[in-house]
Amino acid sequence: MGDKFDLKKALGLGSLPEIYLEDYGSDLLEEYINTYLREEIMVEALVRNIASFSHFLNLAASISWQELNYTKLASDSEIPKETLRRYLDILSETLIIKKIPGYTHIHSSRKAVQKEKFLFFDLGVRNGILKIQKNRMTNDQFGPLFEQWIVLQVIIFNSYYKKNWSLFYYRDDKKTEIDLIIETSKGIYAIEIKWSEKYRSQWLEPLQVFRSLHKKKVNLIIVYRGTHQLEEDGIRALPFEKFLMEISTIL
């Protein structure tokens, strides 16, 4: 997009070309969601309960990039577990969402979470379902959206260039969490994603813990909105633009 790129706009309205570039983009996004997601997918998937599927879409958008707990979701939404699984499979098969499994290849007494996460292929679609694409986002909202956006860029790059990387997230029973784990032919990369423009040393701790749990060498990276490239304790902190522009050489 060059000079037309605005990060906050991309996090709120998404990056579908016409929706992002045109003044009527927000209205077009609403039409896309109502016509394609809420109508065509339901018809193609032979969804019998339209109200249930529509309710599910709102639920899915609200829990994007959270661990999937079907029992809790079924209880909260009053939609049976097997129906929830089928609906999520429909979104996955139609490429609306991408599922990311938990990383479990550690050698430790810690118990790694195996539950899946998922995220929508475009943040504008996710926000449009929730009808918040026109809102002014707060920093508390931008943080999780920025994390999802970076993960989406990696997914897209991996798919487009046929890298065959395996993508995971990590969390264990001691509450150590890593936003993104990437297994490539060159090695394993653990990546923390931060909305802040100012580097903080406390970001290192989960990466240091993860490194100690792995027998193989792990490359540790922090991606943030700052402008300086830093390194501390063998962990690189990279501005997000540099990470994305040079991803093929960094990973």
DSSP for 164-185 reads --EEEEEEBTT--EEEEEEEET
pLDDT digits (tens, 9 = 90+) for 50-108: 778 888 999 999 999 999 999 999 998 899 999 999 999 989 998 999 999 999 999 88
Q: Any residues with CB less than 8 A from the CB of 167 and at least 6 apart, and which? A: 100, 151, 154, 155, 158, 180, 181, 182
pLDDT digits (tens, 9 = 90+) for 183-210: 999 999 999 999 999 999 999 999 999 9
| pLDDT score recorded for residue 134 | 86
Q: What crossing angle do the helices spanning 50-62 and 81-93 adopt, rounded to 10°?
A: 80
Residue 161 predicted with pLDDT over 90: yes
Give the predicted TM-score (pTM) of the model.
0.94
> Span 112-139, mean pLDDT?
94
pLDDT digits (tens, 9 = 90+) for 218-245: 999 999 999 999 999 999 999 999 999 9
Residue 2 predicted with pLDDT over 70: yes
| pLDDT score recorded for residue 184 | 96
For residue 235 the two structure tokens come to 């962990």
> Span 102-122, mean pLDDT?
94
For residue 53, how many other CB atoms are within 10 A of its CB?
20
pLDDT digits (tens, 9 = 90+) for 8-65: 999 999 999 999 999 999 999 999 998 888 777 777 666 667 778 888 999 999 999 9
- Cα dist from 85 to 49, 66, 78, 145, 197, whole Å: 15, 15, 13, 24, 38
> Span 121-130, mean pLDDT?
96
Q: Which amino acid is at 152?
A: L
d(CA 130, CA 107): 40
- Residue range of the domain that includes 99: 2-250
Quote the number of domains for the chain. 1
| pLDDT score recorded for residue 42 | 76
| pLDDT score recorded for residue 168 | 98
d(CA 61, CA 54): 11
| pLDDT score recorded for residue 46 | 64
